[in-house]
Amino acid sequence: MEHYEATIQQLLDIIEELRRENTELKKIIAQQNARIAELEKRLGLDSTNSSKPPSSDGFKKKLRTKSLRINGKNASGGQTGHKGTTLNQVAKPDRVNFPKELMRQLNMEQELKHWQYI
């Protein structure tokens, strides 16, 4: 009988130890869950929803917003019945427009002075 009582006491001691360990592990899990939630929140931050500069966004592409246009409501293109015109390319143009910055970069302002640039 004594043998059984000793075995029962050992089992009760083991159960109590496991309960204490279980309680400690639950606390650790709760702390880790809070930490994971904080890190996931930080991971979702970029320059659009925080004070971070755009350069810190990295090379990740942002999702484009889907078009709000309803398909089939209006046809694409010009107005019906309106005759369109196209500017055709010519062999000798009257003028050629170059950006000023391009001319500065190419150091060609003096050589192409008679050409018009914008």
What's the confidence (pLDDT) of residue 104?
72
> pTM of the full predicted structure?
0.42
Model confidence pLDDT, tens digit, residues 81-115: 888 888 888 888 887 777 777 777 776 655 556 55
Yes or no: say if 101 and 117 are a contact pair by the CB < 8 Å rule.
Answer: no
Can you tell me which residue has the tokens 């060609």? 108
What's the confidence (pLDDT) of residue 118?
46
Q: Tell me if residue 32 falls in helix, strand or coil.
A: helix
What mean pLDDT is predicted for residues 20-38? 96
Asked if residue 116 has pLDDT above 70, the reply is no
Distance CA 34, CA 41 (A): 11
What radius of gyration do the chain's Cα atoms show?
37
Yes or no: say if 20 and 28 are a contact pair by the CB < 8 Å rule.
Answer: no
Model confidence pLDDT, tens digit, residues 39-63: 988 887 777 788 888 887 777 777 7
